[in-house]
Structures are given as C-alpha cells and as structure tokens.
C-alpha cells in the first residue's frame, strides 16, 4: 500500500487457501480447482461501480447538455478508482476454474459520490442523487441480466447489494474513543462531510433491488452494528473502520450465516415476483 495518488488502489487483492492448512484434507474441491491459483475471495475497489465513460453515457441519456459557461465534463480533479462493470461482473465474477470459482458478488457504493468528484454536475447534491438512482438501477439490471445469461452453466450465483456505513463526525473525541458501543443509532447532525446523504442513498439501493425483484439479487442492510460503534472508526477520516474492533469481523460472520443458511432457506420458502429484461441502459 502507498499513500501516493499515483498508486493503483483498484488492483485486485486475492485471498487464497494455504496449501499447508489442515483444512485441505477435509475439503472436497471441485474439478479444476487449483489451491495456488483459484482465489477464495477477491476484493476490488470500485468507487462508482461503472467507469467514467459509462457514467457519462447514463447521465447524457437524460438529455442534458452543458450551457454557456458550464462545465463540459461531469468530473472534477478529485482522485477516483473506478472500473467498468464488464471488468468485474461480466468477466471476473463468471470466470471459470481454475482462474475463479465465485459464488457471491458483494457490492456497495455511496461515500465517493461527492461534490468534489462530480464538480461538473448541475444542481449539487440533488443532481448527484438523481444520477446515483440511474446508476444503481442499471447496476441491479446488469446483475440480474448476467445471472440469467449464466443460469445454465451448472452453478447458481448470488449478487448481494450491501448498504453503506456512514462516518462518525466526533470520532476523535475522548468520549467517543473510550465510550464503547452505543445503545441507539445516533443522528447525523451535519452534512458538511456528505454523510447525511448516505442513508438516502442506501434507501435508493434497496428500492432498486426491490423493484427489480430478481430472486438472486438481494439487498443486505448491515450498517447498524457499525453505526453503534463510533469508537471503531479509524481516526484518519472517521469513516473507515479499524480491523480488530469487531465490526468488520461481525459482518464477516453474519455474511457467512446469511449466504450459507438464511438465503437458501428464504429462496426455498418464497415465491419471488417476475421481472423483465429490457435495454442495456435504463433511466
């Protein structure tokens, strides 16, 4: 890791099984699985979930054109790391063994949708929210479409849209650092850091998933444990969480339960509504 803005923060980070682990002898691997090549988990940073050209295509679909004196691009100079949906959904997620063997794609986005990044977007935060709605609607559509296109390859996959955790504005105070868990989720009292908009964006994420109603694209509201732990935020920005505080570890354990126990039960005992597939980009 490097603090330099020139360093690619979107590079894929893989978690592999240790060939010397005692678990190896107890696992029945699928044909083609290679311990040293096939990752168990892959993380990629992707601030906007689409690349800049795709974002501009969706925005211009609304018929907007810059007027005299207005910016001719949506984006400012704020650093961003964002890749095409084709790179991680169409390609990486469905890549066959031995390169990959993924079952679940977990995505979320919110905090990088800032006025600094979208300095050319009209109407401030209202314009950002409108564009966010278009983008996440297309995300859910693309996820449903790709799952349907690959439904005959013998492996059912899942896409989980996870809500985004807000920061905590007073994380540097001694009261916060030594106060431990809260009993109730605190209200965000200032929107100077744009965190007050994140709950609205989470609601938009949920609505997009609910409206698509695909049986294998689900919304997971998992931010409450983090919002009850202001003392778990990293002091560098009061947004990211510190490893070892219990929140990330709790999320991981719950995701294991959600994907391995709850979701199969829910899908078996519910009758999802139908859904339709239309054009590639939909406003």
Neighbours of 96 (CB within 10 A): 10
Residues 6+ apart with CB under 8 A from 35: 16, 17, 19, 24, 29
Residues 6+ apart with CB under 8 A from 29: 35
Round to whole Å and give the CA distance between 270 and 266. 6
Joined tokens for residue 42: 């892959």
Q: Where are the domains of the chain?
A: 13-269
Round to whole Å and give the CA distance between 61 and 77. 23
Asked if 104 and 158 touch (Cβ cutoff 8 Å), the reply is yes
**What's residue 151's pLDDT?**
86
Strand partners, 217: 159
Place of tokens 């609910």: 210
Q: C-alpha 158: how far from its chain's center?
A: 14
Round to whole Å and give the CA distance between 232 and 90. 35
CATH of 13-269, one of 1.10.3470, 3.30.2250, 3.40.50, 1.25.40: 3.40.50
3-class secondary-structure state, position 207:
helix
**What's residue 277's pLDDT?**
40
Residues 6+ apart with CB under 8 A from 131: 55, 58, 59, 118, 121
Per-residue pLDDT 10s for the chain (283 aa) are 566 667 788 889 999 999 999 999 999 999 999 999 999 999 999 999 999 999 998 987 755 555 555 556 789 888 899 999 999 998 899 999 999 999 999 999 998 999 899 998 888 889 999 999 999 999 999 999 999 999 888 888 999 999 999 988 788 888 888 888 999 998 876 655 678 899 999 999 999 999 999 999 999 999 999 999 999 998 888 898 999 999 999 999 999 999 999 998 888 877 554 444 444 434 3
Round to whole Å and give the CA distance between 247 and 227. 9
Residues 6+ apart with CB under 8 A from 257: none
């Amino acid at each position: 890791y490097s603090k330099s803005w020139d360093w690619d923060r979107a590079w894929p980070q893989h978690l592999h099984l240790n060939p010397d682990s005692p678990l190896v002898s107890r696992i029945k691997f699928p044909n083609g699985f290679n311990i040293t090549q096939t990752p168990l988990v892959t993380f990629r940073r992707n601030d906007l979930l689409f690349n800049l050209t795709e974002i501009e295509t969706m925005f211009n679909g609304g018929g907007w054109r810059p007027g005299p004196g207005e910016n001719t691009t949506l984006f400012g100079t704020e650093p961003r790391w964002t890749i095409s949906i084709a790179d991680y959904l169409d390609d990486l997620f469905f890549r066959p063994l031995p390169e990959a063997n993924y079952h679940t794609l977990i995505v979320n986005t919110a905090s990088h949708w800032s006025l600094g990044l979208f300095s050319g977007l009209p109407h401030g935060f209202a314009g950002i929210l409108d564009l966010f709605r278009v983008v996440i609607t297309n995300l859910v559509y693309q996820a449903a479409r790709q799952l349907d296109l690959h439904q005959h390859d013998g492996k059912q996959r899942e896409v989980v849209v996870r809500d985004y955790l807000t920061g905590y504005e007073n994380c540097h105070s001694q009261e916060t650092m030594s106060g431990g868990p809260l009993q109730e989720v605190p209200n965000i009292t200032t929107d100077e850091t744009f965190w007050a908009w994140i709950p609205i964006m989470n609601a938009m994420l949920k609505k997009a998933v609910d409206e698509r109603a695909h049986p294998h694209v689900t919304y997971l509201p998992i931010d409450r444990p983090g919002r009850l732990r202001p003392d778990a935020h990293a002091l560098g920005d009061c947004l990211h969480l510190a490893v070892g505080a219990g929140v990330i570890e709790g999320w991981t354990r719950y995701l294991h339960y959600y994907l391995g126990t709850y979701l199969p039960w829910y899908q078996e005992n519910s009758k999802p509504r139908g859904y339709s597939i239309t054009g590639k980009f939909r406003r």
